């Protein structure tokens, strides 16, 4: 299950390895559509990549810090640093290919 990310634990949860953080909101229909995709990917990649969820309604400052203007947005952290962001609704296969590429360069 994805870790809930807030301003209080972002640094601690992203400090080591690859962490994919889903920036979402409860009123966002595409965000809800991404949930099962991310759950399936976490089942596959969970031993290699940590998955987190950050509610932008409760953490607007973090959304602004990471230049999240649209949701859903996925921000990939590598050893504590945000290295990439993808925005929008992505199919599972496309995200799996993306994660495979990131793991190959880890």
CA dihedral (93, 6, 18, 3) positive or negative: negative
- The 10s digit of each residue's pLDDT in 62-97 is 999 999 999 999 999 999 999 999 999 999 999 999
What is the rounded average pLDDT of the residues 32-43?
Answer: 96
pLDDT for 4 equals: 97
Residue 106, pLDDT > 70, answer: no
Domains of the chain plus CATH, in order, are 3-104 (3.40.30.10)
Could you tell me the pLDDT band of residue 105, with boundaries at 50, 70 and 90?
A: confident
What strand order describes the sheet that includes 81-87? 3-4, 49-55, 18-24, 73-78, 81-87
Positions marked catalytic: 28, 31
Residue 1, pLDDT > 90, answer: no
Residue 48, pLDDT > 80, answer: yes
What is the rounded average pLDDT of the residues 35-55?
Answer: 97
What is the rounded average pLDDT of the residues 32-52?
Answer: 96
């Amino acid at each position: 299950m994805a870790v809930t990310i807030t301003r209080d634990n972002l640094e601690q949860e992203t400090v080591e390895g690859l962490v994919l953080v889903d920036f979402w909101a409860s009123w966002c229909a595409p965000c809800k559509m991404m949930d099962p995709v991310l759950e399936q990917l976490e089942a596959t990649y969970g031993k290699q990549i940590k998955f987190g969820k950050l509610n932008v309604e409760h953490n607007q400052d973090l959304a602004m810090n990471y230049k999240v203007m649209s949701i859903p947005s996925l921000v990939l952290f590598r050893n504590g640093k945000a290295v990439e962001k993808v925005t929008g609704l992505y199919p599972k296969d496309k995200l799996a290919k993306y994660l495979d590429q990131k793991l190959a360069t880890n």
